[in-house]
Amino acid sequence: MKTLEDYQNGHVLLIDKPLEWTSFQVVNKLRWHIKQRFNIKKIKVGHAGTLDPLATGLLILCTGKKTKIIDQYQAQIKEYTGTITLGATTPSYDLETEINETFATEHISEALIHKTTQQFTGIIQQKPPIFSAIKKEGVRLYELARKGETTEIKTREITIPVFEITKIDGNNLDFRVVCSKGTYIRSLAYDFGIALNSGAHLSALRRTKIGDFHVNNAVSIDEFIANLSE
């Protein structure tokens, strides 16, 4: 059982983030329960890499003095699995927003799908989605997007060692991606649709690994709270 001193000196928590929770909500929830458990007024808790609300999976949280090394975890290689749906796009590149355009998919063969993944492996340039937490002149891009404002977004260099399609079910493509910090899987889905002379959006996403940490070793929020109160 972890003591208050353990959390203050620094503890690394592996949480399996549930669907529709923001990473910030997870941090707030766990911070509140740690404060309640030990009857303290404050404790530092931070996460090492945001997961979108519609994504599930591994979220690393650091407490106390370990929050000073969050950047080290954020910089590590990550692995994701999920589903790309062909034939339609959304402004957010995922299911946060409604479909805004549809495209033909009859010309897309399984061979073309697998061949096209090669365009997205190695060191590539990627443009983050307008619906992202990146700040421009102090304002987060998603705040501008929700107001209907457009802004120029610069591409950034990322590395994708692995991008493979693991299952094809009609227009739904299951995938596994291993990528560097700063990669947007939503942008990968959108760009993949364009490369297929069609359109696509991300319909499911799960983060499975960050460095050597695996989601199989993570606990749910409820499990963490139950363990904390024992």
Which residues are annotated as catalytic? 52
Q: Which residues are within 8 A (CB) of 228 and not within 5 positions of it... i.e. 6 or more apart?
A: 2, 33, 34, 37
Distance, CA of 195 to CA of 212 (rounded, Å):
32
Calculated CA dihedral for residues 140, 144, 150, 155, nearest 10 degrees: 10
Phi, psi of 196 (to 5 degrees): -90, 10
